[in-house]
Structure 1
Amino acid sequence: MLRLINSSVRNIKIHAIGDRSQRPRNQWQWRLVLMVVLLGGLFGIKNAAADTSRNQSSHQAVRNSHIPVLLGLYTPNYLGLQRVIDRELRQVDNWAGKRHSLAGFFMDIEDSNPAYNIKERLEILRRNGYTAFINLDSTRSAAQIARGDVDQSLRKLAQAYADWSKQGSGRMAFIAPFQEMNIPGETYSKDPQNFKLAYQRIQTIFTEAGVAPGAVRWVFAPNGWSENAQHRFENYYPGSARVDVVAFSSYNWGHCRNASWKQWKTPQEVFESDIQRMRVMAPGKPIFIAQTATTSYTQSGATSSAKDRWLRDAYAQLAAMGVRGILYFNIDKECDWAFYSDRDRNSAGYRDAVALPAFGYVAPANLARMELSR
């Protein structure tokens, strides 16, 4: 600022000496000239700062726009085998014309062989270009986990993860402890206070095992639905200091025969309000869809075109709302969720949906370094 003002004053002085007819005639005119120069300098600086701010915002927007929405899948079979990865991940990538970055699976915290089921499974996925999204579940209650009843098993699990991650080169996975803890159906469900204590206990044990902070992204992954206000997912949130990614599960059950209540829901009805709630609960945190799928069963019966349309609309909406990752449950379990199988029962709607430029692939080492926050 001083440099700009001094330069302007020097120019005035030179001009005044060089052209006598332009010199101010008295002291007040000199003061007026200096005031104009000073104000001009200040406005120039203000405008320059505004331009700089706009440019920085523009550059930030460009950086954010270069972060693609990550695609992920859950598969029917064990992802620690190359033949399964070839058939249920790579083959889907080739069919869809777009690579998936995330491979989701479920694992009990008392797994009998974490040395293999963590180290080997994560490593073979990584070699094939996939980052693991691990849902840690349990047959124990949240209270049992919180008070340390399964610490021995957790330490084995954490040590296996530490051994894998310490190999370096950006080894990282997403870990979601006790997914869908806010709905009935799991032994650890519907206990907000002990869930938060259990979540914290797992993180402490991982830290004690030597897992570096950057080697894991901790995910909070409730269900979007809850049976009453007491079990809304906000009541289970462990806090922003403990969570890297917020996520939720939500499905379109339609008129699937196993649906508790039969109603075809649009993507807006399935996702929008829960995304808005998560933004209020955890401002700035990246949002994933931890699990989603749709049936083809409408009120008129199985309709493949309805499923295709839902997939196109859902993925377009989620990309537009700034979701950072979507994991599709490509398994026919309660309903005909799968969009792809090697029996040629494939939904073109998914392939159309992920063709949008918003969706892209990120290799494991790059994803480990990437800042996903909005």
Structure 2
Amino acid sequence: MLTLDKIYQASYVLKDVIRPTELMAAPNIDSENNIFLKAENLQITGSFKIRGSYFKISQLSDEEKAKGIIACSAGNHAQGVALAAQKNNIPCLICMPDSAPISKIEATKSYGADIHLAQGSYDDAYDDALRLQKEKGYTFIHPFNDEDVIAGQGTIGFEILDQLENIDAVVVPIGGGGLISGVAFAVKTLKPECKVYGVQAAGAASMSEARKCDKIVSLDEVNTFADGIAVKRAGDLTYELTKKYVDEIITVTDDEIAAAILMLMEKQKMVAEGAGAVSVAAAMFNKLPIKDKNVVCIVSGGNIDVNILARVITRGLLMSGRKTSLTIALVDKPGQLLGVSRIISECGGNVVAVDYDNGDPDMDINSCFLKITMETKNHEHIEAIIKELEKNDFKIVKERT
């Protein structure tokens, strides 16, 4: 049974290992609530996972440690287990999906772990880890469906309650459910009136589907760039705890996650990975069933792959109306581009790319399509530019926002 005593024990074990991460007000986040950020992206190894993995490994017997440990992870649990194993001088093998970001694979290796890459998703890495455990006799460290791991993650709940007295809700990312299980248990036990909301990527909503079906389900596939929460099947232990202690589970799209990452970078000077930003995305896009409340969003990790960061930023710009493309049908004659660019400039837009096409079979012989990519302030700004162009008899045939 998970108890407060076990979480207090975890807090004691972890006090010289982890950082008690800052809880910071985020008034720059455009939301219907007063947002505070619990910055676990600034934790050792770049995510909250070190809490659960280190505490779990601290509770192993000498016999279990002597066997060596094995774990499966998309990257963050891998780093937590690897660092904990290194500090305790325990041999360590981590199974990771071959789609895991190279940065996370290399970071895990840097803590001394051996890596086994599995073809497919996290769940395929999990299957490989169980097979290797049986073959080699390793001690398995589950990333979420384990009482000690959950207790370690629950220490975040203690910290939040200590850091903010007038708290109305906590918003927590969900993959397999270990983080929200520990946080929700701690928060609801000590402050039952506080709401706890979980957030999943819409393309990997295994816990949300389990809640809807009133039983654990396995998704056929997961499709999200938030690799840290791309889990096809929730744990049985985490499902039961979530069902008991979590008020509601919300989903957000990848575009909404990208917008949240961009906003955190620009407004909070904070780098978050996709899994870490889902809680903020839910608050930004007003998906929480509350208003004008003090809400803590756990930013669970910051280990974003720099190779996709540019794409994430671009999607975030599009989602927030900071960048858009317009395709305009024109009579192909001199001065048309000048007229379009003048209107955009006078409206405060900034043209960054122009593409000219006079070969489309759907257009008139004497016409052309002009695709303009421009930087804008927001969606309202885009609409103002479109109205001004149309007022000057320019025909918009396509808009990308």
TM class, shorter-length? under 0.3
TM-score (norm. length: structure 2): 0.24
Q: Which has the larger radius of gyration?
A: 1
After TM superposition, the score normalised by the length of structure 1 is 0.25
